[in-house]
């Protein structure tokens, strides 16, 4: 079983021709609200796309914004450990999605910041603890160390990007980052391979957007080129990747197979608007993989070259 401890936000999404720059006003074309938050997105991905038994620890305000989040998580089959934060609103995110499917996000954490070390539920039966950085860093550290002491695999998606203390990284078994987040974690940013070498974590997985992803497992590098889809909205694609990767690892898959499943799920998530609403079902993911053409030799070579792996 997977326990996700993290954020839940209601996403306020505006589609526009482009993301505004500083001081610029852009007229949007469409406005919608969607259930979101990195923690909640990843919990839904674990359960819905990954097909893994999933629980989530989250904090919500006592307001109307909480209801869509609870409904979405429950409909995906996620078992909830809900902490109600007094005098705090449910977390919200304000998202602009550009015509090229890229996005810019501002998060108001609200109740998410209320999660504390004493809120961690019993870890009996939990194989993997999955966390992000949209809750307080001391809380993340306390949960990671408690899980490590119980023999639970700790997976950290170090997003949003920030420097992390060595004590936290020492309690992490699998670290998932994008390129910017990877650079923020190292003392002396350099080449891709040098950045990875500076992290004393047994396994680091780096997502590379439309290029794919790469993992360092010990001293071995594994690559997975991206699947080609017509992107509509990239919101939640990284969270879908994280959730499905951990789901497959919890089910006994090796890293190569887990990366392939996670990459396919993330690609599918880009074809539908919204965060949790875009996460595919396990059946849709299986169908997509059954019909997907195998990645070509050129795709693999290009990805390894980009990563400096020769």
Task: Count Cβ atoms below 10 Å from residue 87 Cβ, excluding itself.
Answer: 8
Lowest mean pLDDT among 115-119, 239-243, 294-298: 294-298
pTM: 0.92
pLDDT of residue 113: 94
The highest-level CATH class for domain 2-8+36-90+114-306 is alpha beta
Q: Quick one: what percent of the chain has pLDDT higher than 70?
A: 98
Over the stretch 137-169, which tens digit does the pLDDT of each residue have?
Answer: 999 999 999 999 999 999 999 999 998 999 999
**Residue in 3, 5, 8 with CA at minimum distance from that of residue 276:** 8
Q: What is the pLDDT of residue 142?
A: 97
First to last CA, the chain: 38
Q: Is 28 a residue whose pLDDT tops 80?
A: yes
Peptide bond preceding 100 in cis form (omega within 30 of 0): no
Among the options 173, 233, 239, 299, which is catalytic?
A: 239
Mean pLDDT of the chain: 92
Q: Please give the distance of CA 115 from its chain centroid, rounded to a whole number.
A: 19
- Kindly list the domain boundaries of the chain, sorted by start residue: 2-8+36-90+114-306
Q: Which residues pair with 212 in a beta bridge?
A: 225
pLDDT for the residue 234: 81
Residues sharing a CB contact under 8 Å with residue 282, sequence separation 6 or more, in sequence order: 48, 49, 50, 51
Do 218 and 201 contact (CB within 8 A), yes or no? no
State residue 296's pLDDT score. 62
Task: Kindly compute the dihedral angle of the four CA atoms of residues 289, 291, 294, 296, in this order, to the nearest 10 degrees.
Answer: -120
Over residues 74-101, the mean pLDDT reads 93
Token look-up 């017509």 returns: 230
192: which 2 tokens? 């891709």
pLDDT of residue 143: 98
What pLDDT digit, counting tens, does each position of 7-17 carry?
Answer: 999 999 898 99
d(CA 217, CA 255): 8
Tell me phi and psi for residue 163, to 5 degrees: -70, 145
At residue 285, the 3 state secondary structure works out as helix
**Residue 122 a catalytic site member:** no
Residue 293 has pLDDT above 90, yes or no: no
pLDDT of residue 297: 60
pLDDT, position 65: 95
Higher pLDDT, 82 or 195: 82
Using CA atoms, how far residue 70 sits from 9, 63, 81, 191, in Å, is: 11, 12, 11, 42
The pLDDT value recorded for residue 54 is 98
Q: Are the C-beta atoms of 7 and 35 separated by less than 8 Å?
A: no
Q: Please answer whether residues 50 and 248 qualify as being in contact, where contact means their C-beta atoms are separated by less than 8 angstroms.
A: yes
Biggest alpha carbon–alpha carbon distance for the chain: 56
Do residues 37 and 91 lie in contact, with contact meaning Cβ atoms separated by under 8 Å? yes
């Amino acid at each position: 079983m997977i326990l996700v401890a993290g954020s839940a936000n209601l996403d306020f999404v505006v589609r526009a021709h482009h993301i505004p720059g500083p001081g610029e006003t852009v007229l949007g074309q469409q406005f919608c609200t969607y259930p979101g938050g990195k923690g909640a997105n990843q919990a839904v991905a674990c359960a819905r796309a990954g097909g893994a038994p999933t629980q989530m620890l989250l904090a919500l305000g006592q307001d109307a914004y909480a209801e869509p989040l609870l409904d979405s998580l429950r409909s995906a089959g996620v078992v909830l450990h809900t902490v109600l934060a007094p005098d705090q609103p449910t977390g919200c995110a304000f998202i602009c999605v550009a015509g090229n499917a890229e996005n810019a996000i501002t998060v108001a954490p609200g109740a998410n910041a209320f999660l504390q070390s004493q809120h961690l539920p019993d870890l009996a039966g939990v194989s993997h603890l999955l966390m992000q950085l949209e809750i307080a860093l001391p809380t993340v550290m306390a949960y990671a160390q408690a899980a490590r002491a119980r023999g639970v695999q700790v997976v950290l998606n170090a997003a949003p990007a920030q420097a992390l203390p060595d004590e936290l990284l020492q309690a992490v078994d699998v670290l998932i980052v994008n390129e910017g987040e990877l650079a923020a974690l190292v003392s002396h940013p350099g080449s891709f391979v040098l950045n990875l070498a500076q992290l004393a974590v047994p396994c680091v997985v780096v997502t590379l957007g439309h290029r794919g992803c790469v993992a360092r497992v010990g001293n071995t590098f594994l690559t997975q080129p991206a699947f080609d889809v017509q992107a509509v909205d990239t919101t939640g694609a990284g969270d879908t990747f994280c959730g499905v990767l951990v789901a497959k690892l919890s089910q006994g898959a090796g890293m190569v197979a887990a990366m392939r499943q996670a990459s396919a799920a993330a690609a599918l998530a880009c074809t539908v608007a919204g965060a949790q609403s875009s996460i595919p079902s396990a059946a849709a993911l299986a169908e997509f993989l059954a019909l997907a053409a195998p990645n070509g030799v050129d795709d693999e070579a290009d990805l390894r070259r980009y990563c400096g792996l020769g």
